[in-house]
Amino acid sequence: MEDLMVNDSVPETFSLYLPTTFHTDKKWPLLMVFDLDGREKQALSMFLQAAEKEGYILAAPSVSDTVSLSSNMVSTGKTIERIVNLLPVHPGLIYTAGANSAARFSNLVPIFIKEIRGTISIGSTIANTELLNVKQPFHFVGIVGKNNFEYPMMLSVEKILDRFKFPNQILLHEKDGAWPDPEYLEKSMQLFTLGAMAKGVVPKDTAYIENAYSDDLQKVQGLMQQRKFLLAEQYLGEMTSIFGAHKNLDSLRNVLKDLRKDKLYRAMRRGENNAFLKESLLKEDYQYYMEEDVLSHNFNNLGWWNYQAQELNKFKSGTDIYEKQMGNRLYGFVNALAEDNINIELSEPIIDEDALAFLYMLKTVIEPENFEYYLNIISLSSKNEDFGTALFYLEEALKKGFKDKEKLYNLEDTALFRITPEFNKLVTKYLNEARYDIIEE
């Protein structure tokens, strides 16, 4: 159900999904799914299979990154209140979920709305650990890929949550994108249910616990057979944290102890730790130089960034699995860092156009097939009548396969640029026909 009204006086809406087994004779867990880009329905649909299997109501409120955090939080609170008044929701089983930027929002919600008992954070760590309140703990389930630049940070956050005694599990996958396979979302909801049983929020279901434990043992055995010892160790650690309240785990702890003594496991651990160390040093370099280059408009350093991009590509295409993963993470990190800086510059009352131009140029180095940033430079350069720069980036885009003539002719601030003979020559050369005739004296 889409576009349900939160109340008659405010034009706030939400989407709702009820599992096919839904009835009003019992209290149901509720998962609030967030997306900050207006794709609530798509985000909610990712959880349908898990909600069916685990028996959860799903809701997706209309929140946006174009409005303030406080406004989004108030809207979320009103939506939860509306759903609780409308449906038989268990007050101790209300959770949040989101991916990427929506994950950062979703794990802030339990900090500000005390009724929230946990969060599923996909591809992103906790937004601000300084806001955590040890007197108001919530269950944190992080899902992250080993190729995601948030992976080392997720492991660091896990240690903070352990210290604060927040129940938490980190689920690792090996896919490139943020969204994992549906089984990870099912597992996350299952972890919430097991956690609620451990606290006595809902009655213990022995069959449910044994089935979950058996499935997890099979998962670990599969990882061991594939010699994915680091993933197996991580999974065993999370099993001990969630099943410790339900059964004796001495045999599981012995398996974990033996695994950590294995020579191949220890070599794998050294390999990943070495990659982590190299990664942390490179991240410090990237942060330092990007900040300096943006402040000083250091266009001369684009050559250095181009070299770094080549080095990252070497890591990504190499044979060492840990360096490959490190290369993917660093590539994502530099991309995100550049985009964050662009957003900061665009949010300033007076935009520093030289800084913005540098960042757009940097993005063409990092993402050479993403034509959006070539067009941004062409627009910005044309606005300042720097037609030489505009021509260079136009030809670079055309060489790499840009073909959207309509988009090019509708580009902001390029009216003067588009009537130059040089522009029309390039368009004729790469796109067959220019809109304007070329007249040269």
How does DSSP assign 147-166, residue by residue?
A: TSTTHHHHHHHHHHHHHTT-
To 5 degrees, how large is the angle CA 395–CA 400–CA 405? Answer: 65
Rounded to an integer, what distance in angstroms lies between the CA atom of residue 228 and that of residue 232? 6
Angstrom distances, CA of residue 194 to CA of 101, 190, 200: 27, 6, 10
Position 179, amino acid:
W
pLDDT at 437: 52
pLDDT given at position 345: 95
pLDDT of amino acid 36: 86
Residue 84, H or E segment: helix 69-86
Structure tokens at 109: 């919600």
Residues of the chain with pLDDT under 50: 439, 441
Tell me the fold of 266-431.
1.25.40
Predicted pLDDT at 288: 97
| Tokens read off for 324 | 């490959």
Residue 63 has a pLDDT of 80
Is 4-203's fold the same as 266-431's? no
Distance CA 329, CA 149 (A): 4
Helix (H) or strand (E) holding 232: helix 229-243
**Residues in contact with 57: Cβ distance below 8 Å, sequence separation at least 6, in sequence order:** 16, 17, 18, 19, 22, 28, 29, 30, 31, 51, 83, 87, 89
pLDDT for residue 222:
96
State the pLDDT at residue 68.
Answer: 82
- Rounded to whole angstroms, the maximal C-alpha distance in the chain is 90
> What would the pLDDT profile of 167-178 be if each residue is shown by its tens digit?
999 999 988 776
Domain 4-203: CATH superfamily, name plus number: Alpha/Beta hydrolase fold, catalytic domain (3.40.50.1820)
Question: How many residues can be counted in the chain?
Answer: 441
Strand, helix or coil at 63? Answer: coil
DSSP helix, strand, coil percent of the chain (3-state; round to 5): 60, 10, 30
Which residue ranges make up each domain of the chain? 4-203, 266-431
Cα 333 to its chain centre, rounded Å, is 11
pTM: 0.89
Residue 184 neighbours by CB under 8 Å, 6+ apart = 143, 171, 173
- Is residue 90 helix, strand or coil? strand
